[in-house]
Amino acid sequence: MTDAASRDGAGRDGAIDAAELRCRTQELLAARPVADTDRTDFLRARFDAGLAWVHYPEGLGGLGAPRSLQTVVDTELEAAGAPDNDPRRIGIGLGMAAPTILGFGTEEQKRRFLRPLWVGEEVWCQLFSEPGAGSDLAALGTRAVRDDAGDWMVNGQKVWTSSAHVARWAILIARTDPDVPKHRGITYFVCDMSDPGVEVRPLRQITGEAEFNEVFLTGVRIPDAHRLGEVGDGWRVAQTTLMNERFSIGGMRIPREGGMIGPVAKTWRERPDLRTHDLHQRLLKLWVEAEVARLTGERLRQQLVAGQPGPEASGMKLAFARLNQEISGLEVELLGEEGLSYDDWTMRRPDFVDFTGRDAGYRYLRAKGNSIEGGTSEVLLNIVAERVLGLPSEPRTDKDVAWKDLAR
């Protein structure tokens, strides 16, 4: 046992506890004073000390501690004014790529990708959806063909790719066997976005900006060493990504009156001239629902201590989309003519979505995408019905049909 562990007490069974984490965090701060340490150097040192994801294995940014103890570290570092890793900018890497690499990557892949991902030195994007495979993702047609050297040549098109314009790496699923049913012929890869065969084009949205992209892959070479999981097992690997994506969207940790409900409640308190009885009743209803969703997210995070997100995360994401759209609609109605004004139509390429730092018109428009991104609400309703409530599944006539024989 280390001096720190004997002083502040890892648990009797040798497990890391809260006191030990506080001690290690203070040792990091003493060795890397916040005021005198470069931001990136501090984040690297935090990762190496196992204080990035405390529940990850040692050597991979963690200490094998319970996931619930991450708040101990975060609270200590926030109080000291330590820099964070700008999680909104690297959210896809943190919320989707990292747990998939941890679950299915080789030891070499974990050590190569996880540290720069968490530190924020390398941004990630997600190459899943296609023009003909959105809600029915397993119908994807991007092809990966193995060459004589054992590597893969990829050709196809992906769409609705957030952060592709700033990403260094992408998580990619592609079809490697068209002769089997659609769910079985998919393989999961890590794609180098700097490859000359990768072309990123902006997709301008209703907000005026281009946060999303379409990505064309032409003769992109991916070494077999960048394959995650077995050949043909990509759908199973992708489920880890998708479940974590839905949790990262719908289950974010926020304070009371955090998220979309905060600006509306603030406006209500500061602008009594805008109040009506009807709007008051609707605001109260949505405030309660937002609080229920927040507390449900806390409960789900506690359940995650024992493993990966399950289908319950789909329910959280459903609630997130519906609430955001109803709350933003109420905010526009509350503000009247002010809520209809939206002056910033600049063609920008933001690194991340900022719901609360913009005006009500932006929030109203951008929230429309919440019921599409991360799985459409219709698909998520099916998941909740079948996997949470145990209801009969919908008939699927293409379940046992080879992908190449599917109607398109």
pLDDT string in tens for the chain (408-residue length): 344 333 333 444 557 899 999 999 999 999 999 999 999 999 999 999 999 999 999 999 999 998 889 999 999 999 999 999 999 899 999 999 999 999 999 999 999 999 999 999 999 999 999 998 878 899 999 999 999 999 999 999 999 999 999 999 999 999 999 999 999 999 999 999 999 999 999 998 888 888 889 999 999 999 999 999 999 999 999 999 988 877 676 556 778 888 899 999 999 999 999 999 999 999 999 999 999 988 888 777 766 655 566 677 778 888 889 999 999 999 999 999 888 877 666 777 877 777 666 789 889 998 998 888 877 888 888 888 888 888 998 888 888 899 999 887
Q: Which of 245, 312, 378, 386 is catalytic?
A: 245
214 and 142: one domain? yes
Active-site residue, 245 included: yes
102 and 181: one domain? yes
301 and 183: one domain? no
**Any domain includes 205:** yes
Write a three-state SS string for the chain: CCHHHHHHCCCCCCCCCHHHHHHHHHHHHHHCCHHHCCHHHHHHHHHHCCCCCCCCCECCCECCCCHHHHHHHHHHHHHCCCCCCCCCCCHHHHHHHHHHHHHHCCHHHHHHHHHHHHHCCCCEEEECCECCECCCHHHCCCEEEECCCCCEEEEEEECCCCCCCCCCEEEEEEECCCCCECCCCEEEEEEECCCCCEEEEEECCCCCCCCEEEEEEEEEEECHHHEECCCCEHHHHHHHHHHHHHHHHHCCCCCCCCCCHHHHHHHHHHCHHHCCHHHHHHHHHHHHHHHHHHHHHHHHHHHHHHCCCCCHHHHHHHHHHHHHHHHHHHHHHHHCHHHHCCCCCCCCCCCCCCCCCCCHHHHHHHHHHHHCCCCCHHHHHHHHHHHHCCCCCCCCCCCCCEHHHCCC
128 and 138: one domain? yes
259 and 121: one domain? no
320 and 356: one domain? yes
Q: Print the domain residue range for 68.
A: 13-79
Q: Domain ends where: 202, 237, 272?
A: 237
127 and 226: one domain? yes
339 and 303: one domain? yes
**Any domain includes 337:** yes
Read off the CATH number of the domain in which 164 is found.
Answer: 2.40.110.10
31 and 148: one domain? no
266 and 137: one domain? no
